[in-house]
A and B are shown apart, each in its own frame.
Chain A
Amino acid sequence: NAGVTQTPKFRVLKTGQSMTLLCAQDMNHEYMYWYRQDPGMGLRLIHYSVGEGTTAKGEVPDGYNVSRLKKQNFLLGLESAAPSQTSVYFCASSIPRGRRNTEAFFGQGTRLTVV
């Protein structure tokens, strides 16, 4: 059982380049999340999804787009990367169908540097 898998694990981008981070979960979870973690800031929610085909903005959505075409995948896109988007990105999933009050499972993170 892989749990939550993020790809890639590391990436260096030049300012203005675009990229997509992929998150895949094999637990049939309904909810998926993208967070960024910066020193001293904890985790901040970028976007989230409560089901296939749905997405919503979190606390810091500007500069990012997301898509959830398949239940098991949640993609985070950076259309034009900026140095301020240098961060560690975490994906998480939670809530099997029919349940509430369950924990979230996290991927191992993607370390992104924008130069």
Chain B
Amino acid sequence: SQQGEEDPQALSIQEGENATMNCSYKTSINNLQWYRQNSGRGLVHLILIRSNEREKHSGRLRVTLDTSKKSSSLLITASRAADTASYFCATASGAGSYQLTFGKGTKLSVIP
């Protein structure tokens, strides 16, 4: 079964608002990653957080990781219409972090 589960499955917000997506996983991990997918395209890496980190920032993105609860959240601040996409969390586990397992994704719609 898939490791990560994103919540909510779909999210619709107004431009300028913040968007928060959550991810829960089942087993221990080496790192957790967030990816973005525009309709019909390949996935693009956004940010990686290691298992010993609790928070990470990259531009308008903020990711938190709570390994005790096996959960992560992705916050996109001051959203733009161009942020409309599907967002996936992926967990890396195994001795060499080679098992990269994805959740089902959150579909974000940002309304201009």
Q: Which residues of A come within 8 Å of B, CB atoms?
A: 4, 31, 33, 35, 40-45, 48, 50, 59, 90, 92, 94-95, 100-109
Residues of A within 8 A of B81 (CB): none
Known contacts A4-B42, A92-B100, A101-B50, then 9 further A-B pairs from the complex at CB < 8 Å, ordered by chain A residue: A31-B100, A42-B88, A101-B97, A103-B33, A104-B33, A104-B100, A106-B35, A106-B43, A107-B42
Q: How far is the CB of B51 from chain A (nearest CB, A)?
A: 9
Which residues of the other chain, B, contact A92 by a CB distance below 8 angstroms? 43, 100
- B100's partner among A41, A42, A94 (CB-CB below 8 A) is A94
> Which chain A residues border B42 with CB–CB below 8 Å?
4, 90, 106-109
Of all chain A residues, the one with the shortest Cβ separation from B49 is: A101
Q: Which of B97, B100, B104 contacts A45 (CB 8 A)?
A: B100
Give bound CA distance, A94 to B1, whole Å: 22
A101 and B30 form a contact (CB under 8 A): yes
> In the complex, are the beta carbons of A35 and B102 less than 8 A apart?
yes
Residue B111 interfacial (CB < 8 Å) = no
Give the residues in chain B near A31, CB-CB below 8 Å.
96, 98, 100
Cα distance A94–B30 when bound, in Å?
Answer: 14
Assess whether B2 is interfacial by the CB under 8 Å rule: yes
Q: Is the CB of B104 within 8 A of A105?
A: no
Most buried by A among B40, B42, B50, B97: B42
Q: B103 contacts A42, CB within 8 Å?
A: yes
Q: Is B48 in contact with chain A by the CB < 8 A criterion?
A: yes
Number of B residues near A (Cβ < 8 Å) is 27
Q: What residue in chain A is nearest B97 (Cβ atoms)?
A: A100
Q: What's the least CB distance linking A44 to chain B, in Å?
A: 7
Chain B 8-21: CB-based contact to A (< 8 A → 1; otherwise 0): 00000000000000
Q: Give bound CA distance, A41 to B40, whole Å.
A: 15
> Would you give 21 A-B contacts (Cβ < 8 Å), ordered by A?
A31-B98, A40-B104, A41-B104, A43-B43, A43-B88, A44-B102, A45-B99, A45-B102, A48-B99, A50-B96, A59-B1, A100-B30, A100-B96, A102-B48, A104-B43, A104-B100, A106-B42, A107-B42, A109-B40, A109-B41, A109-B42
